[in-house]
């Protein structure tokens, strides 16, 4: 193929079965209804030692013929450099970076291509990434004052907040499409990161240098099995530090803005992070709707509304009554993660101990103590409030409310 429309670049390290399934799904689902899309596939092998070595070239040529390239490194150069090497070999004007732990679905490509063809065109686009149970893995990166997370992670794919189009500060490179010229002009992926945050860095540079927006195109769906590589999270702390050094002035907190715009309530946790929960009126509405129905009904409503705290508490009580207290411990842990409150974690630890789950008991007890200590750390609280002041008045008000609450609890304690 002389003029492919886009180049699919897939970095791999072992996990041959994942790579094979990814390539087969790419071949199966890359039609546009009127024939095959014009694309090439470039797989960059970071020194695999499994069947990738013997099977990759053969399968690639079988599926994609002359439109397939395989590059192999003698040693593992990590995600960013592997992607950069693939980009230098690409023949198409568009690049589509893709993890090998993904499965494409029908009609995944046309919505992404259409989004890049708008005026003004976004800097990069990505599909909606789902877990195998059809809950959200990624629909964009959300920022707090000092951390990043996947927006609405584990929400059901059909939740109203998931389908909304929004401009984002960053997207994951697990599935990311952008112009090759823009990628190279932005400096490609920074090689100083180790398998994480290089995609956030790239997106922030696209915004800061070129004024480009990033868009998650929810009509394009890809399943993401997520982080199957050994040691995937080992360098997160160093990567986060590097991101702040390189891009600290290029991003602002936006998790609370997304949440408020989508009808949730933003609040500040005991460790002064930004969190989301249902508004009280929505909590009460769902509880009223569930009424006196059996637990199965409550559970189905909870699946559709993962931030419903009253629903979790009801199911925890019902499971305990039915002699299934240990099965309720994960529900309690989820409740703790939503609340991020020292007392709730302590309550969860007691519940886990009562039902013999020593591992989760120890974890929740540890988190309770950490959050209680953090809540008393006034210097950190005021530092956060100062940062919030530079961000926006809504966030400043949330921190002011939290600090007042912490003073009351500290005085009472």
User: Which residue segments constitute the domains of the chain, with CATH numbers given?
Assistant: 6-251 (3.90.550.10), 280-375 (1.25.40.10)
Kindly state the DSSP code that residue 154 receives in the 8-state scheme: T
pLDDT of residue 413: 55
Q: What local confidence, expressed as pLDDT, does residue 233 receive?
A: 64
Which residues are CB-contacts of 212 (< 8 A; sequence separation ≥ 6)?
Answer: 122, 123, 124, 182, 206
Non-local (6+) Cβ contacts of 100 within 8 A are: 10, 11, 12, 15, 18, 19, 22, 43
Determine the 3-state secondary structure of 301 from DSSP: helix
What per-residue confidence (pLDDT) applies to 391?
82
Burial group, residue 391, by CB count within 10 angstroms (0-12, 13-18, 19+): middle
**How large is the C-alpha radius of gyration of the chain?**
23
| pLDDT score at 33 | 46
* Cβ 251 vs Cβ 142: under 8 Å: no
pLDDT at 235: 80
Ranges in the chain, pLDDT < 50: 32-34
Q: Which two tokens stand for residue 262?
A: 């989508």
The pLDDT value recorded for residue 34 is 47
Inter-residue contact 391 to 252 (CB < 8 Å): yes
pLDDT at site 259: 98
- Within 8 A by CB and 6+ apart from 352, the residues are 329, 332, 333, 358, 360, 361, 364
């Amino acid at each position: 193929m002389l003029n492919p429309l886009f180049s699919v670049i897939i970095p791999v390290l072992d996990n041959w079965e994942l790579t094979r399934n990814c390539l087969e799904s790419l071949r199966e689902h890359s039609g546009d209804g009127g024939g095959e899309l014009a694309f090439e596939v470039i797989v960059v092998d970071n020194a695999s030692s499994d069947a990738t070595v013997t099977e990759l070239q053969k399968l690639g040529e079988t599926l994609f013929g002359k439109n397939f390239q395989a590059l192999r490194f003698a040693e593992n150069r990590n995600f960013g450099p592997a992607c950069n090497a693939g980009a230098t070999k690409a023949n198409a004007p568009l690049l589509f970076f893709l993890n090998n732990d993904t499965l494409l679905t029908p009609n995944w490509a046309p919505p992404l291509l259409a989004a890049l063809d708008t005026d003004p065109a976004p800097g990069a686009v990505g599909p909606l990434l789902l877990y195998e149970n059809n809950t959200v893995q990624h629909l964009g990166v959300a920022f707090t004052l000092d951390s990043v997370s996947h927006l609405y992670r584990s929400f059901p794919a059909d939740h109203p907040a998931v389908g909304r189009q929004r401009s984002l500060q960053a997207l994951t490179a697990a599935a990311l499409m952008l112009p090759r010229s823009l990628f190279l002009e932005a400096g490609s992926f920074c090689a100083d990161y180790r398998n994480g945050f290089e995609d956030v860095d790239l997106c922030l540079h696209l915004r800061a240098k070129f004024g480009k927006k990033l868009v998650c195109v929810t009509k394009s769906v890809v399943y993401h099995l997520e982080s199957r590589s050994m040691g995937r999270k080992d360098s997160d702390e160093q990567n986060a530090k590097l991101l702040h050094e390189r891009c600290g002035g290029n991003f602002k907190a936006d998790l609370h803005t997304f949440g408020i715009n989508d009808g949730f309530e933003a609040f500040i946790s005991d460790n002064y992070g930004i969190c989301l929960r249902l508004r009280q009126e929505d909590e009460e509405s769902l509880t009223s709707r569930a009424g006196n129905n059996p637990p199965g009904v409550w559970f189905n409503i909870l699946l559709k509304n993962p931030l419903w705290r009253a629903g979790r508490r009801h199911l925890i009580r019902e499971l305990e009554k039915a002699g299934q207290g240990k099965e309720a411990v994960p529900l309690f842990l989820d409740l703790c993660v939503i609340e991020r409150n020292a007392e709730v974690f302590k309550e969860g630890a007691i519940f886990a101990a009562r039902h013999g789950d020593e591992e989760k008991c120890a974890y929740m007890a540890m988190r309770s103590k950490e959050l209680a200590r953090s809540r008393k750390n006034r210097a950190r609280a005021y530092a956060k409030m100062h940062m919030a002041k530079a961000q926006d008045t809504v966030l400043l008000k949330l921190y002011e409310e939290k600090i007042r609450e912490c003073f009351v609890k500290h005085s009472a304690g």
